[in-house]
Amino acid sequence: MLTRRRQYLLTGVTALGGLGLFAYAVRSVGLAPISDGIRRVGWGLLPILALGGVRFAFRTEAWRQCMRPEARLPFAPALAAFLAGDAIGSVTPFGLAASEPTKAFLSRHRLATSDAVSSLATDNLVYAASALTMVAAGVAVLLATVPLPFQWQEWGVAALVLLVAAGLAGLRLLRGTWSPEQGARPAWRQRLASVRQSVLGFSAANPGRLWRAFGLGLAFHALAVVEVFLTLGWIHPGEAPTFSQSVVFEALNRVQMLAFKFVPFRVGVDEALTGALAPALALPAAVGVTLAIVRKVRNLFWAGIGFVVLGPWFSVLGLTAGRARGGSATDRP
């Protein structure tokens, strides 16, 4: 019970902090330009939502590519599990710790637990590699196309170096760093070794599937760049957006996703950081805040679909919990 209370407290605190940051971001640029930008998007919201659905389809297929060929999980139930898991991961501050068990649970009737766990671990590693690639591309485009102050250029180069170092460190971890002379592995290293063996075993047996999953991850990010490009054109029609701006905005979005997953729906974080970046890309801060709000609407829409998928399971779990506490209504005197 105490753990659950702490979870609720953490969710409440992060949500309130995000709402405060959201209010600050909106107040700093003014409500009128945001309202005008949203109004200009209008029916353009439909293709934005559709692109979001296609991106989820790509991520789902990338997960399926990370499964053993013998493990057959049809696309439709895999998509349902993926949407539900993403919704849980977005609304709680626990990220992957909440989303991945949800996917495994919802796919358990068609996919063995061991296959679900190993495929999700592989998928997350491949996705992380594609996200790092996206962020590195964004930093490179920013340095090449935006006349930044020298200090900012130094920070950008340092970020690229850190990204390369992170990639090399990840490869080193996959090779293993523990020597038998050091004795028994700590529990966390044992879990890491188990994941490493699973990923390397799958990679050795199915190299083509792993590369297809990586390609689908890149396509997921590429469609996000297209989404940003279209949205900017609707929000700020007076000046045609560029793909360079779109790439940089999406790279920032990936960083926000990785760094602030504990904030439910990253409320406030997206708006504040995107609004702060916009002037560096020769756009009004209000355009950045509006872009983040439009994308938030897309996130909420697809999270709603995910919770619709979860609805029957909530009912079953609630009924089971009620019976466990005191039996069904017909059993009572």
pLDDT at 185 over 80: no
**Residue 330 pLDDT level (bands cut at 50, 70, 90):** very low
Judged by average pLDDT, the poorest of 87-91, 154-158, 208-212, 271-275 is 154-158
Residue of higher predicted confidence among 317 and 196: 196
**Residue 331 pLDDT level (bands cut at 50, 70, 90):** very low
pLDDT at 211 over 70: yes
Judged by average pLDDT, the poorest of 135-144, 161-170, 203-212 is 161-170
Q: And the tokens for 249?
A: 């905005």
pLDDT at 34 over 80: yes
Rounded to an integer, what distance in angstroms lies between the CA atom of residue 91 and that of residue 87? 6
Query: What does the pLDDT read at residue 333?
Result: 38
Rounded to an integer, what distance in angstroms lies between the CA atom of residue 130 and that of residue 215? 8
pLDDT at 302 over 90: yes
Asked if 286 contacts 304 with a C-beta cutoff of 8 angstroms, the reply is no
Query: What does the pLDDT read at residue 108?
Result: 87
pLDDT at 324 over 90: no
Q: What is the 3-state secondary structure (H, E, C) of the chain?
A: CHHHHHHHHHHHHHHHHHHHHHHHHHHHHCHHHHHHHHHHHHHHHHHHHHHHHHHHHHHHHHHHHCCCCCCCCCHHHHHHHHHHHHHHHHHCCCCHHHHHHHHHHHCCCCCCHHHHHHHHHHHHHHHHHHHHHHHHHHHHHHHHHCCCCHHHHHHHHHHHHHHHHHHHHHHHHHHCCCCHHHCCCCHHHHHHHHHHHHHHHHHHHCHHHHHHHHHHHHHHHHHHHHHHHHHHHHHCCCCCCCHHHHHHHHHHHHHHHHHCCCCHHHCCHHHHHHHHHHHHHCCCHHHHHHHHHHHHHHHHHHHHHHHHHHHHHHHHHHHHHHHHHHCCHHHCC
Note the pTM of the prediction, 2 decimals.
0.85
Mean pLDDT of 186-202: 65
Instruction: Give the type of residue at 158.
Output: A
Residue 14 lies in a domain: no
Domain region containing 104:
33-324
Q: And the tokens for 255?
A: 């960083």
Rounded to an integer, what distance in angstroms lies between the CA atom of residue 64 and that of residue 73? 7
Average pLDDT, the chain: 83
Sign of CA dihedral 64, 65, 66, 67: positive
Mean pLDDT of 245-265: 89
Rounded to an integer, what distance in angstroms lies between the CA atom of residue 112 and that of residue 206? 19
Residue 18 lies in a domain: no
Mean pLDDT of 257-276: 87
Judged by average pLDDT, the poorest of 3-12, 105-114, 252-261 is 3-12
pLDDT at 163 over 80: no
Packing angle of the helix pair 113-145, 45-65 (nearest 10 deg): 130
Residue 7 lies in a domain: no
Residue 115 lies in a domain: yes
Asked if 151 contacts 162 with a C-beta cutoff of 8 angstroms, the reply is no
Residue 176 lies in a domain: yes
Query: What does the pLDDT read at residue 216?
Result: 97
Residue 187 lies in a domain: yes
Number of domains in the chain: 1
Residue 296 lies in a domain: yes
Mean pLDDT of 6-31: 82
Residue 220 lies in a domain: yes
Q: 91-143, pLDDT tens digit by residue?
A: 887 778 888 999 998 998 888 888 888 889 889 989 998 999 999 999 999 98
